[in-house]
Amino acid sequence: MKVSEMNQYVKVDYEASLARFMGREDMYARFLKKLLKDETFQKLTEAVETHNLPDIERYAHTLKGVFGNLGLQEGFETSNEMVKAVREGQEEKIGAFYPLLREQMEKYLNVIGQLD
Amino acid sequence: MGGTEKNCLLIVDDVEMNRAILSGIFEDEYRIVEAENGKQALEMLEQYEGQIAAILLDVVMPEMDGFGMLHYMKEHDIGQDVPIFLITADASEKNMYEGYRLGVKDIIEKPFIPFFLKQRIQSVVDLYCTKEQLKDTVEHQAEIIEEKVEEVNALSRSVIETLALAIEFRSGETGQHIQHIYGLTKRLLRELRNKGYGDCRGLTDEQIEQIATASMMHDIGKIAIPDSILNKPGRLTPEEYEQMKMHSLKGAEMIERMPNINGNPVFSYAYDICRHHHERWDGSGYPDHLKGEENSIYAQIVALADVYDALVSERCYKKAFTKEKAVEMIAQGECGAFHPSLIKAFLEIAGEL
- Cβ atoms of B305 and B215 closer than 8 Å: yes
CB contact under 8 A, B110 and A16: no
φ and ψ at B108, to 5 degrees? -120, 125
**Tens of pLDDT, residues B44-61:** 999 998 899 999 999 988
Q: Is residue A56 part of a domain?
A: yes
Tell me what pLDDT residue B170 has. 84
Evaluate the omega torsion of the peptide bond into residue B83 and state whether it is cis, within 30 degrees of 0. Answer: no
Give the alpha-carbon dihedral of B152, B154, B156, B162, to 10 degrees: -150
Distance in angstroms (rounded) separating the CA atoms of residues B296 and B304: 13
User: What residues contact residue A76 under an 8 Å CB cut-off, 6+ apart?
Assistant: A64, A67, A68, B111
Q: What is the mean pLDDT of residues B147-173?
A: 86
- Which domains are assigned to chain B? 8-140 (3.40.50.2300), 171-350 (1.10.3210.10)
Count of domains for chain A: 1
Residue A20: which of B14, B60, B111 has the nearest Cβ? B111
Q: Is residue A74 part of a domain?
A: yes
Q: pLDDT above 90 covers what percent of chain B?
A: 65
Asked if the model's pLDDT at residue B261 lies above 80, the reply is no
Asked if the model's pLDDT at residue B5 lies above 80, the reply is no
Q: Is residue A7 part of a domain?
A: no
Min Cα separation B147/chain A (Å): 53
> Whole-number mean pLDDT of chain B?
91
Chain A CB contacts of B110 below 8 Å: 65, 68-69
Min Cα separation A26/chain B (Å): 13
User: What residues contact residue B190 under an 8 Å CB cut-off, 6+ apart?
Assistant: B208
Asked if the model's pLDDT at residue B17 lies above 90, the reply is no
User: What residues contact residue B100 under an 8 Å CB cut-off, 6+ apart?
Assistant: B107
Most confident region among B8-12, B46-50, B257-261 by mean pLDDT: B8-12
Asked if the model's pLDDT at residue B4 lies above 70, the reply is no
User: What residues contact residue B239 under an 8 Å CB cut-off, 6+ apart?
Assistant: none
Q: How many CA atoms lie within 13 A of B194 on its CB side?
A: 11
Q: Which of B186, B222, B245, B344 is catalytic?
A: B222
Distance in angstroms (rounded) separating the CA atoms of residues B141 and B155: 21
Q: Is residue A87 part of a domain?
A: yes
Q: Which of B13, B27, B56, B90 to mutate to test the interface with A (most CBs of A within 10 A)?
A: B90
- Taking only residues 84 to 103 of chain A, the set having a beta carbon closer than 8 angstroms to any beta carbon of chain B reads none
Distance in angstroms (rounded) separating the CA atoms of residues B139 and B117: 33
Chain A CB contacts of B60 below 8 Å: 58, 61-62
Determine contact: A33 vs chain B, CB below 8 A: no
Determine contact: B20 vs chain A, CB below 8 A: yes
- Cβ atoms of B127 and B81 closer than 8 Å: no
Tell me what pLDDT residue A57 has. 92
Q: What is the mean pLDDT of residues B284-296?
A: 95
Min Cα separation B112/chain A (Å): 8
Q: Which of A14, A20, A26 to mutate to test the interface with B (most CBs of B within 10 A)?
A: A20
Q: Look up the ipTM and state it.
A: 0.77
Tell me what pLDDT residue A52 has. 93
The domain containing residue A104 runs over which residues?
12-112
Q: Which CATH number characterizes residue A107's domain?
A: 1.20.120.160
Q: Tell if the pTM clears 0.80, that is, is over it.
A: no
Asked if the model's pLDDT at residue B187 lies above 90, the reply is yes
Q: Is residue A5 part of a domain?
A: no
- Cβ atoms of B248 and B287 closer than 8 Å: yes
Q: Is residue A61 part of a domain?
A: yes
Instruction: Look up B291 and say whether it is catalytic.
Output: no
Which has more confidence, B318 or B202?
Answer: B202
Distance in angstroms (rounded) separating the CA atoms of residues B277 and B303: 5
User: What residues contact residue B203 under an 8 Å CB cut-off, 6+ apart?
Assistant: B189, B193, B211
Q: pLDDT above 70 covers what percent of chain B?
A: 98
Q: What is the mean pLDDT of residues A18-36?
A: 89
CB contact under 8 A, A19 and B17: no
User: Of B343, B336, B235, which is closest to residue B278 (Cα–Cα)?
Assistant: B336
Asked if the model's pLDDT at residue B230 lies above 80, the reply is yes
Tell me what pLDDT residue B169 has. 86
- Cβ atoms of B54 and B121 closer than 8 Å: yes
- Cβ atoms of B21 and A21 closer than 8 Å: yes
Q: What is the mean pLDDT of residues B203-216?
A: 94
SS3 B237: coil
Q: Where does the pLDDT of residue B174 fall: very low under 50, low under 70, confident under 90, or very high at 90 and above?
A: confident
Determine contact: B16 vs chain A, CB below 8 A: yes
- Cβ atoms of B295 and B311 closer than 8 Å: no
SS3 B109: strand
Q: Is residue A1 part of a domain?
A: no
> Whole-number mean pLDDT of chain A?
91
Asked if the model's pLDDT at residue B279 lies above 50, the reply is yes
User: What residues contact residue A85 under an 8 Å CB cut-off, 6+ apart?
Assistant: A91, A93, A94, A97
Q: Is residue A6 part of a domain?
A: no
**Tens of pLDDT, residues B103-154:** 999 999 888 888 899 999 999 999 998 998 999 999 999 999 999 988 988 8
Query: Which one-letter amino acid corresponds to residue B108?
Result: I
The conformational region for residue B24 under phi > 0 = left, psi -120 to 50 = alpha, else beta, is alpha
Tell me what pLDDT residue B114 has. 86
Min Cα separation B47/chain A (Å): 28
Distance in angstroms (rounded) separating the CA atoms of residues A61 and A81: 10
Determine contact: A75 vs chain B, CB below 8 A: no
Q: Any idea what the Cα angle at residue B180 is, between residues B178 and B185, rounded to 5°?
A: 95
Q: Where does the pLDDT of residue B64 fall: very low under 50, low under 70, confident under 90, or very high at 90 and above?
A: very high
Q: Where does the pLDDT of residue B1 fall: very low under 50, low under 70, confident under 90, or very high at 90 and above?
A: very low
Tell me what pLDDT residue B3 has. 46
Tell me what pLDDT residue B231 has. 86
- Cβ atoms of B343 and B330 closer than 8 Å: yes
